[in-house]
Amino acid sequence: MPKKDEESKLEKLKKDYKKIQEKHKLPSFENLNEDFGIEKAAGEETDILIREIRRQISEKVFNYLRFVETMINPVNAPMSIFTITKSIGIEEKNKLTEIYKKLVKSEVRMISVDMEFSEKKEAEFIKEIHEIWQEIKKDFLEVIQVVEKNWENKSEGKNRKYFG
């Protein structure tokens, strides 16, 4: 029977995370939640919270990796990707390549962490990916800003003839 003052799943997650955070010197819940949306783990029932949090983080990193990969090598990509790639220059492509290398390295590391559970390895991965994310998000935001700035110029030009 639920207690009158039963805490929300999110509050329980924060409290449980705090214990793991202190034990392994992890980033704050707020920082990880802002970057990776780890609050989704509140909806999951698990005995191994750190693994669920790492999975939430890995999912977002994996999605960005696939996006960057498609921008670097747009074979069979949606037309929107071609429009984006036309709006970036060499400097942005180089940044994307560096981001890609870091994300691929993280993905390979994540696979090894995922294969055999170790709370310590899970915590190390979370710290590493948080640090890497802080590095790459600045460069990625710069690339996206260039895309936004150049979007109108590139998308209104020659591509217009394809539509009629």
Q: Is residue 161 one of the residues assigned to a domain?
A: no
pLDDT of 117: 94
| pLDDT-based confidence at residue 6 (cuts at 50, 70, 90) | low
Quick check: is 164 in a domain?
A: no
Burial (Cβ within 10 Å: 0-12, 13-18, ≥19) of residue 128: middle
Distances (CA, A) of 95 to 4, 44, 59, 85, 136: 53, 36, 22, 13, 9
Instruction: With a cut of 70, say whether residue 159 has pLDDT above it.
Output: no
Q: Is residue 53 part of a domain?
A: yes
Q: What average pLDDT score do residues 128-149 get? A: 94
How far apart CA 65 and CA 57 sit, in angstroms, is: 12
How far out from the chain centre does Cα 130 lie? 9
Q: Is 163 within the bounds of a domain?
A: no
Domain membership flag for residue 54: yes
Q: Does residue 114 carry a pLDDT above 70?
A: yes
50-107 confidence digits (pLDDT tens): 999 999 999 999 999 999 999 999 888 888 888 888 889 999 999 999 999 999 999 9
Is pLDDT above 80 for 158? Answer: no
Q: Domain range holding 28?
A: 9-154
Is residue 4 situated within a structural domain?
no
Average pLDDT, the chain: 89
The position carrying tokens 């029977």 is 1
pLDDT of residue 86: 86
- Give this prediction's pTM: 0.83
Domain count, the chain: 1
* CB-neighbour burial class of residue 60 (10 A; exposed 0-12, middle 13-18, buried 19+): middle
